[in-house]
Amino acid sequence: MVEALAIPWRGRKDFALALAVPLALLAGFQLAWYWVATGAREAVEGAEPFHWALFFLYWAAFGALFTLFAVTCHRLVLLNVRPGGVAPGWSVREGRFLVFVISVWIVYLAVWWLTLLAVANLWPRFAGDLGESFQLIEAAAKMPALYVIARLSLVFPATAIDRGANLRWAWRASRGNGWRLVVVVTVLPWIVSHVFGLLYRDQPTPAEIGVLTLAGTALFAFEIAALSVAYRELTREGENP
């Protein structure tokens, strides 16, 4: 974990140059969306179809921009390769990466929902109770889903460096290291986001929002680097795709 945090810092010049454009695009998009959502919240209130259209539009754009950022970061850590041009381009590699992002997210939702249904059926007294007790069950149902996506997360660094990875390979390669990957993929981002969230205050100025959005987005590099290091260690000991 210490190594993962140290890599972006030691190579901060390369990271700054390679990630400048993806970071600006991703942070700029989130900042723009924040202002749009804030201004349009009352306008879309009650307009359910429009609300869902905006929801999918946001995640589609965020997924594409995050893909550019994550692929660049993985390649920096694992291959020490920077984009050839001013900004990273979109290729089959990025397309496959985004497909895996969507696939893993669908797997997460499916496992979480099935676990929730199983718990509700095995514990009938919660089936009709949507109070505090059911909320605890709902939160607990996320644990198996988080474990599954942590096991599958090795597909991301493998795809970023053009290895012929798939979800079956990722599951096999992460055998015996599931909970370690849970720490890397879920616990570390959770800690970072909550510690960083303490910096926000009520009624922040536009400058504060801009700086915090940029800094918070930049922290993605450390989380991605941690997954890259985990991938390198596990594939060194086990099989490569």
3-state secondary structure of 80: coil
| Tens digits of residue pLDDT in 98-154 | 999 999 999 999 999 998 888 777 765 544 554 556 677 777 788 899 999 999 999
Residue 47, pLDDT > 70, answer: no
pLDDT band, very low/low/confident/very high, at 96 (cuts 50, 70, 90): very high
The span from the CA of 79 to the CA of 77, in Å, is: 6
Residue with token string 């849970």 = 182
Report CA 115 to chain centroid distance, whole Å: 22
Residue 240, pLDDT > 70, answer: no
pLDDT on residue 17: 81
Q: What is the DSSP string of 81-142?
A: ---SSSS----HHHHHHHHHHHHHHHHHHHHHHHHHHHHHHHSGGGTT--SHHHHHHHHHTH
pLDDT band, very low/low/confident/very high, at 34 (cuts 50, 70, 90): confident
Instruction: Provide the 8-state DSSP code for 128.
Output: T
Q: In angstroms, how far is the first alpha carbon of the chain from the final one? A: 24
Q: What percent of the chain has pLDDT over 90?
A: 32
pLDDT on residue 174: 93
pLDDT mean across residues, the chain = 80
